[in-house]
């Protein structure tokens, strides 16, 4: 049975990136993939830096947590380029100041591709997390890529982590250098729980949060306004908009204040 918690996907089409105008009408502008529903999609992502392919299973009929979002693709490209030429990489600002390899946690991992690619390109120990009902697919993808990840000295572990649940954060501990996330700011009722988890993990710690974000709604500025009360937020990278869109994916760095 499909368990729906607070990741309701009624008004978001993951195949389409939406930017909302002043009048709040969405403009569809990017189609990533358009396959028949009820099918599992196995996608290959070739990583130039390690000359290897990562395989990711998507389950479109299961909902938005089981699909690849645009910001994840951006972060994957940045991680791949970082390994090829760190001196020319927007991620260097973060990755040259942490343990090497950095210990990484990913929030709202979805298919898990970002964490898996981070483990494969950085040789890191990465914990990929999401809502409990998403973890089985994370596990599937982690196991499918264990060989590629292992050859780089990386390891991927999967765990449930519900935003806003202090006990889930406690269970993870704080032995991380970097928290990664892509496309996790979308429904406004999730802003507070996500910020609460970030507060618990970042404030008073040296952990850095790196978030790739595709802007869809004007209301997302509320998330950033709230975030800036607790974190120093700056922009590491802005992707060139593609397929006629007005905005590209932006990669932010959050550091706890105080
Ligand atoms: C838009 S998807 C992005 C998935 C993936 N990061 C990507 O970019 O392809 C948002 C992800 O956040 C997860 N999520 C939503 N609400 C959550 C919550 N309360 N706690 C933990 N994860 C949540 C969803 O299950 C989903 O995987």
Q: If you average pLDDT over residues 138-164, what whole number do you get?
A: 98
Q: Is 184 in the pocket of ligand 1 (CB under 6 A)?
A: yes
Confidence band, pLDDT 50/70/90 cuts, at residue 258 = confident
Lowest-pLDDT choice from 21-30, 140-149, 167-176, 231-240: 21-30
Closest CA to 32 of 247, 241, 239, 243: 243
Task: Identify whether the C-beta of residue 71 lies closer than 8 Å to the C-beta of residue 249.
Answer: yes
Return contacts of 146-153, CB within 8 angstroms, 24+ apart.
148/50, 148/52, 148/53, 148/54, 148/120, 149/116, 149/119, 149/120, 151/50, 151/52, 152/50, 152/119, 152/120, 152/121, 152/122, 152/123, 153/101, 153/123
pLDDT at 14 over 90: no
Confidence band, pLDDT 50/70/90 cuts, at residue 32 = very low
pLDDT tens column, 33-87? 444 545 789 999 999 999 999 999 999 999 999 999 999 999 999 999 999 999 9
Query: What is the distance in A from the centroid of ligand 1 to the CA of 90?
Result: 24
pLDDT at 16 over 60: no
Q: Is 56 in the pocket of ligand 1 (CB under 6 A)?
A: no
CATH number of 28-256: 3.40.50.150
* Length in residues, the chain: 258
**Could you give the CA distance from residue 14 to residue 60 in angstroms, rounded to a whole number?**
9
Q: Measuring CA to CA, how many Å separate 201 from each of 94, 108, 236? A: 17, 15, 20
Tokens of 52: 């290897």
Tokens of 151: 């050859």
pLDDT at 236 over 80: yes
Across the chain, mean pLDDT equals 87
Burial (CB count within 10 angstroms: exposed 0-12, middle 13-18, buried 19+), residue 77? middle
* Range of 21-25, 32-36, 237-241 with top mean pLDDT: 237-241
Looking at residue 241, its pLDDT comes to 85
Q: Is 122 in the pocket of ligand 1 (CB under 6 A)?
A: no
pLDDT tens column, 110-133? 999 999 999 999 999 999 999 999
pTM more than 0.85:
yes
The neighbour count for residue 92, using CB atoms within 10 Å, is 14
Looking at residue 12, its pLDDT comes to 55
Confidence band, pLDDT 50/70/90 cuts, at residue 19 = very low
> Largest Cα–Cα distance of the chain, in whole Å?
50
Q: Ligand 1: which of 16, 41, 65 to mutate, judged by most atoms within 8 Å of the beta carbon?
A: 65
Query: What is the distance in A from the centroid of ligand 1 to the CA of 87?
Result: 31
């Amino acid at each position: 049975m499909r368990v729906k918690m607070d990741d309701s996907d009624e008004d978001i089409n993951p195949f389409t990136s939406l930017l909302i105008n002043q009048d709040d009408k969405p403009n569809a502008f990017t189609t990533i993939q358009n396959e028949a529903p009820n099918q599992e999609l196995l996608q290959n992502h070739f990583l130039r830096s390690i000359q290897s392919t990562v395989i990711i299973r998507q389950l479109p009929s299961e909902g938005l947590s089981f699909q690849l979002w645009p910001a994840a693709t951006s972060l994957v490209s940045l991680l791949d380029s970082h390994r090829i030429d760190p001196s020319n990489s927007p991620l260097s600002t973060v990755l040259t100041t942490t343990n090497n390899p950095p210990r990484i946690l990913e929030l709202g991992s979805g298919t898990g591709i970002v964490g898996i690619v981070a483990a494969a390109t950085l040789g890191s120990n990465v914990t990929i997390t999401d809502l409990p009902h998403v973890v089985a697919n994370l596990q599937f993808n982690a196991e499918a890529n264990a060989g590629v990840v292992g050859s780089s000295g990386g390891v991927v572990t999967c765990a449930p982590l519900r935003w806003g649940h202090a006990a889930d954060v406690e269970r993870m501990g704080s032995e991380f250098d970097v928290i990664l996330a892509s496309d996790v700011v979308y429904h406004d009722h999730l802003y507070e729980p996500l910020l609460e988890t970030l507060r618990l993990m970042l404030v008073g710690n040296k952990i850095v949060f790196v978030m790739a974000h595709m802007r869809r709604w004007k209301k997302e500025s509320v998330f950033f306004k709230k975030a800036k009360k607790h974190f120093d937020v700056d922009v590491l990278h802005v992707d060139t908009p593609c397929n006629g869109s007005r905005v590209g994916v932006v990669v932010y760095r959050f550091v706890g204040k105080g």
